[in-house]
Every structure is written in structure tokens, then in C-alpha cells.
Chain A
């Protein structure tokens, strides 16, 4: 590009070039006009632009200054609307006239180096295709294992139902994020969102299984809210990755948004659970999943110790009743 050449590009909502116009400038002529009129140097087909909307001056070092030529709607620069701008510098060479976004490219522009064709990620663990494939295989195996545990009863039917349900949920989830990517970034990014869904959900299910098995093996108590909070962690992780790929948020902001949403959902779920358990007096807040005897690695507790621990059960039951009474709007009606 010659030093006196300027390219004016019309952009769409995702920043992609829709049309391009070249202008030649020289020592005496360093300005050009933009407007709806055919007399303007760059003609835009935009009813919200004036006939002669603005004039732009390009300095020899590539800086751009804009003058409003008396338009009604003014100019939008860096997201702010300016009216009657006079010799106003356009910082990133992008401005909006009416509803038309324009980018002015000059010879001073620094171009990114050429991108090599089809570069593979440094590790297969960074490759969405691999992550999606590994997640699908491990997740599928987990579902098949769960069905197999109930075998021989309805094994095939159980596998079909579970896989259909999982695929349906996954498809809806990925479709939502794909749609958001299309709107925000102009691309569907199916593979990345599929990889995020399969990777995170498989990791979550595997982690829960390992926790249950470890709790049984080492005779450890598991808190009832484990699904809520580990689920919240997994959701935050997935949301953060989805937002990075689907929105224009920075990584920090995406992480913040994901954490806030997950914490709010987990806290709300915890509150609802607590409320349900307090009101449903027939609910038993405990269930031990049993595994084969060979899995057990820690000796059992003696009956004496267990009963000693149960001495606090009365206080616990009393305090649960007190909590329930405190939340009962009808407690004063008992006469």
C-alpha cells in the first residue's frame, strides 16, 4: 500500500468487512468526506447519515482526525456519541456514522504476522476435538456402568434411555451456547462448546463417583450438600469457558460472571433444600451407598463409639424442631 493510500472499510456487527473503498491522498489533499451524497468521497447507504456527514483528515504518520459537518446524529467514537466534533482524533481508527461502522486503514497500520495454516494445539488436551471425544467416551462408559449395575433387568432399555436423556440435555446446552456465539462472535463454535460440556460434566460425574467410593472405602462421612457445591464448582468452570468462547468478555470478567451465577444458584439451591428438609418431616437426610466388601479399607467403628456419637442426636433433633417452629407461620394457632 502506498503511503498516500487509505482504505475505508464498512463493518458488520461482528467487525467483519462488508465493503471496502480505496482513496488516494497526496501532499495537498489529506482529507476526504463521508456522507449519503454521491458527491462525498465515500458514499454510505444509510438513512441515518447526513448528505455530507463528516470529513476525515489523515496525517502523514497515520493518525486520523474527524470533523462533524453539521450532521443531526453526530458520530460514535469508542462507544460515545459526539455531536459537532471538531478535529477529534479517532483513537482506534473505527467510527460510526449513522448506523454504519467504518474502519480507516492507513499505511501506518501494523499488521499481525502471517498465521500458519492448520496449526495443531500444543497438547491434545487443548484440542477441543480430543476433549470432546475423550469426554464422550468416558461419559458414555459411566452411563453404561450405571445401567449395568441394574442388569440384567432392562439393560438395553436402560442404556438407551440414559444415553438419549444425556444426549438431549447436552444438545440443548450446546445449542444455547452455539447460538450465543453466533450472535456475539459471528461463529457457532460447536466443537468448543461440545468439548466444554462433555469435559466438565464427565469430570463432575467421575469426581462424585470417586468421592462416594472413597467415603465408603475409608468410612468417611459425606456432607449432604456435596452435590450442590461440587456441582456449583463444575458449573462455574463450564460457564467461564463458555463465556470466554461465546461472548466478548475478558477471561477475568467471564470468570467473575461464572462464579457469581454459580454461587447464586448453589446458595439458592442450598436454601431451598434446607427449607424442603425442614418442612418435609418425613425426609431422611442420609443415605449410604454400598459397594463390595473388598473395597473397604478402614476398620469399622465399635458400637460403643457409635452410640456415644448418637448422644448428640437428641440435641440435634430438638434443634431441628426449634428451627422448624421458628419458620412455621401457624405455630401460634395450636390451641
Chain B
């Protein structure tokens, strides 16, 4: 099972040039024939890898499936949180089972979860293979790597690729694995050629060329070595999930709590790449469109935490649409700007969030007046979490103007409002 958000977000990334930089050191040994090594690695770890299936109610047909691998004696396995998310959020409706490569089956219980790193610690009933070893050092760029799992339910599979080390400027740490990870491999081990775990399969871009991601083994180690001997109760799991979401959201906004970097466009200073993990892209129309020149800047944090299908929290994105004209009159220019202030809320399901409440005013910002709209909606199941929609439109010039859109997902109210204030106060008119 792959994270649907990454698949949905594919369109945004289609324009990104992906250059896998494979670096080998002069002293590194010559890699053995790939197929030989893959066979050896697979044979070594095969008993420790299981398929994890989720069932709705008493159905015998699975709802979804992923992979897991043994990390501790006594049948303790690691998988992705998103493989067991349905069971955590709806414990009365879903159940989990494992299936070994040899066809043995049994029940699974959840010991602990780590939403921030998309991990879950589970225990199998009646199956306790030798656990896999974790690679003691972080994954290197250019090392041979393998990924194992049960893609598309076609049986135990190994793929071969290259580890590209930790992803640069990612809010949550991820290893970039240049190899295939397909639906069903989530939670399976990413391995070096000695059969040691370097990470856990977590995501991949479906239509890109072998751009996949692993959760670093250090987070597996933290979860494995924690005090999780007993099965967690359903309520405990939900409480922990909620606490981890709050912690993630607080850390996200905390990471943005420094001086807000801005860039100047058409005389307006607007928030730009305000943190290393924020990804910004700018574009414009080289030829004016109906006498309007437009510059568009879009920034994404890509920090969203998967909670359950169609529900993410702790993320933000913002974009600025800067318009200028030398031919349109003030009325028509204002009308164009007005069309950009139309607000459509972040996509959300009524099962997860309430309706928006909004307040709009004309407020004085640094050197200019702006129409400002702030909307908030509360999460149903997670106390104290809110989505925000913010729209800021300049009102000071009849030939130049901007509309800024800020969307924040699943954060606490006060920190959210504090960020909104800093965001608006960072804007300035400096012609």
C-alpha cells in the first residue's frame, strides 16, 4: 500500500527534473553480479518477512495489504503505520492477519505506533523468526540496496537499486532509494547487500522512474527498543496517534518560527522559502494575458502526516499571484484581482472536519492596505486541531496587486493564528 498523497501530488512534481546522482568511492569493492547478490539477500531475510493483510469486518477477502519484517525476538515485527491505520482508527471494524512466504497465517496485534515516521510495531501470534539486523550507520549515497515486499499481492519480491542517502531538506527524514517500490511493499525492509536493514519501504512516485523512499533504520531502532512489550489498547493507540499528530504540528510550526524570508515582486515583499524544507516554484506568463502580467509563486511544505485515507494533518502550502498591468483601467484591474480572492477550502471530508467559520476585514499591513480573510474549521476526531484558510489581497494600487493564499492543515489554534499573523506581517509594500 502506497501513500495516496504522494500519488496525488505527482502532478506537482512532474515538472521537477530528477537527477539520481550515483556516487561511488574509488576504494569501494566491485559490486558482485546483481542477480547473485539479490538471491543471497532474499534467501537470508526471507523467513523474517511477512505479508500483513487488513480485513473489513468478518470478510475473508482482504481490504488492503502491506509488508512487515521481524526486528525483535518473540514475533515482533515492524511495518508502516499506514498499513495498520484502518485498524488503529476503526478498531471495531478492521482486523489484521499475517501470511508468511511459506503460507502460514495468524493474527496480529499492534504494540506501538509512530505516526511521524509512519511506523508501527506489531506482534504475530505463533510465528517468531530470527529478527533482521539493522545497519548501524546511516545509509550512504551510492550503496547497492534492495527492497523486499509483496507488491500487488503477487508474492514475495525483491527489487534492486541504489541508496541515495537521506533526502535533502525533508521535514521528516527519508532515504531516497532509486529502485522500485510498488503498492503492497509498504513496511517491507530496505536492505544493504549484507542483508542489514537500512530503512523501511514507505512511498514511491508511481509515474516517475524509480524514485522511492525509506524510513531510516534509526527510527525503527527507537521504536523497537521502546517499552512496548504489551499489546496497546485501542484507546491507547488512538490517544498516542492524537498526541503524535499534535507533536508533529507543533514541530512544523516551531520550525517556521524564525525570521520569515521574503522576496520582492512588483514592489511587494512576500513570504518565500521560509524554511529549508519548504519547496517553492515560481512561474509567470512571458506574454501578457489580456493586458495582465502574472507572476505566480507556489510553496509547499510536504510535511503532511497520514492519519487515515483522505485525512492528513500538520502541513501547509501558500501561493502568491502577483498581477500588474500598464493598459487596464483601475476598475477592470480590480475585477481581475477580485477573481483571484475567491476562496475554495482545502479538500476535506465531512467525516473528518467541520465547516469553516470565517472573518474578513480590510486591514493595514506594512505600507499598504489589504483585504484579509481568515477561516478555521475544527477536526472531528482530534481535539484541538484546526485547518486554516487565509486570503490576503492588496488594495493599494490600481496597476499592481497580489492575492496570497495560505492553507494550513491540522494544527493547534493558537500556533496557527500566530503563524498567520507572522505571515501577514511579513508582507510589505516597497515600490
- CB-CB under 8 A from B341, the residues of chain A are 287-288, 290
CA distance A281 to B356 in the complex (A): 6
Do residues B424 and A303 form an inter-chain contact, with CB atoms below 8 A? yes
- CB-CB under 8 A from B360, the residues of chain A are 221, 286, 288
Q: How far is the CB of B361 from chain A (nearest CB, A)?
A: 5
Question: B411 on the interface (CB 8 Å rule)?
Answer: no
Chain A 163-185, CB-CB to B under 8 Å as 1, else 0, gives 00000000000000000000000
Do residues B357 and A281 form an inter-chain contact, with CB atoms below 8 A? no
Question: B290 on the interface (CB 8 Å rule)?
Answer: yes
User: Secondary structure of the B side of the interface?
Assistant: mixed
Do residues B357 and A320 form an inter-chain contact, with CB atoms below 8 A? yes
Q: How far is the CB of A216 from chain B (nearest CB, A)?
A: 8
Question: A47 on the interface (CB 8 Å rule)?
Answer: no
Question: B108 on the interface (CB 8 Å rule)?
Answer: no
Do residues B396 and A320 form an inter-chain contact, with CB atoms below 8 A? no
Question: A113 on the interface (CB 8 Å rule)?
Answer: no
- The contact of B335 among A150, A283, A293, A294, by CB within 8 Å, is A150
- The contact of A288 among B332, B348, B371, B378, by CB within 8 Å, is B371
- CB-CB under 8 A from A149, the residues of chain B are 331-332, 335
Do residues A320 and B342 form an inter-chain contact, with CB atoms below 8 A? no
Q: How far is the CB of B129 from chain A (nearest CB, A)?
A: 34
- CB-CB under 8 A from B337, the residues of chain A are 290
Nearest residue, chain A, Cβ from B365: A303
Question: A292 on the interface (CB 8 Å rule)?
Answer: yes
Do residues A301 and B361 form an inter-chain contact, with CB atoms below 8 A? yes
- The contact of A284 among B338, B358, B370, by CB within 8 Å, is B358
Do residues A317 and B357 form an inter-chain contact, with CB atoms below 8 A? yes
The count of residues in chain A whose C-beta lies closer than 8 Å to any C-beta of chain B is: 53
Question: B20 on the interface (CB 8 Å rule)?
Answer: no
Residues facing A in B171-209 (CB within 8 A) are none
Residues facing A in B380-431 (CB within 8 A) are 380-381, 386, 389, 393, 395-398, 413, 417, 421, 424-425
Q: How far is the CB of A222 from chain B (nearest CB, A)?
A: 10
CA distance A285 to B376 in the complex (A): 11
Question: A28 on the interface (CB 8 Å rule)?
Answer: no
Q: How far is the CB of A91 from chain B (nearest CB, A)?
A: 62
Category for how many chain B residues contact A: 35 or more
- CB-CB under 8 A from A294, the residues of chain B are 330, 398
Q: How far is the CB of A298 from chain B (nearest CB, A)?
A: 8
Question: B30 on the interface (CB 8 Å rule)?
Answer: no
Question: A328 on the interface (CB 8 Å rule)?
Answer: yes
Residues facing A in B71-102 (CB within 8 A) are 90-93
Nearest residue, chain B, Cβ from A278: B355
Do residues A287 and B354 form an inter-chain contact, with CB atoms below 8 A? no
- The contact of A277 among B351, B355, B369, by CB within 8 Å, is B355
Do residues A282 and B354 form an inter-chain contact, with CB atoms below 8 A? no
- CB-CB under 8 A from B363, the residues of chain A are 300-303, 306
Contact A313-B291, Cβ < 8 Å, known A150-B335, A280-B355, A335-B92: no
Nearest residue, chain B, Cβ from A222: B360
Question: B364 on the interface (CB 8 Å rule)?
Answer: yes
Q: How far is the CB of A274 from chain B (nearest CB, A)?
A: 10
Do residues A300 and B369 form an inter-chain contact, with CB atoms below 8 A? yes
- The contact of B381 among A285, A288, A291, A334, by CB within 8 Å, is A334
CA distance A152 to B327 in the complex (A): 11
Question: A279 on the interface (CB 8 Å rule)?
Answer: yes
- CB-CB under 8 A from B347, the residues of chain A are 282
CA distance A113 to B378 in the complex (A): 74
Question: B377 on the interface (CB 8 Å rule)?
Answer: yes
Question: A318 on the interface (CB 8 Å rule)?
Answer: yes
Do residues B361 and A292 form an inter-chain contact, with CB atoms below 8 A? no
CA distance A290 to B360 in the complex (A): 13
Do residues B380 and A325 form an inter-chain contact, with CB atoms below 8 A? yes
Nearest residue, chain A, Cβ from B329: A292
- The contact of A307 among B93, B375, B378, B417, by CB within 8 Å, is B417
- The contact of A151 among B332, B357, B365, by CB within 8 Å, is B332
Do residues A291 and B343 form an inter-chain contact, with CB atoms below 8 A? no
Question: B242 on the interface (CB 8 Å rule)?
Answer: no
- CB-CB under 8 A from A285, the residues of chain B are 356, 358
CA distance A147 to B380 in the complex (A): 43
- CB-CB under 8 A from A289, the residues of chain B are 338
Shortest 3 CB-CB distances between A and B: which pairs? Answer: A321-B354, A292-B330, A316-B357
Could you list 15 further interchain pairs (A-B, Cβ under 8 angstroms) beyond the known A288-B341, A290-B393, A294-B398? A149-B331, A283-B356, A286-B343, A288-B338, A288-B393, A290-B337, A300-B364, A301-B364, A303-B365, A307-B421, A312-B359, A313-B359, A313-B374, A321-B353, A321-B380
Chain B residues at the A interface, C-beta cutoff of 8 Å: 90-93, 290-291, 330-335, 337-338, 341-351, 353-365, 369-378, 380-381, 386, 389, 393, 395-398, 413, 417, 421, 424-425
Chain A residues at the B interface, C-beta cutoff of 8 Å: 148-153, 219, 221, 277-294, 296, 299-303, 306-307, 309-310, 312-314, 316-325, 328, 330, 334-335
12 pairs, A vs B, C-beta closer than 8 Å = A149-B335, A282-B356, A283-B356, A290-B395, A291-B331, A292-B331, A303-B365, A307-B421, A310-B417, A312-B359, A320-B355, A321-B378
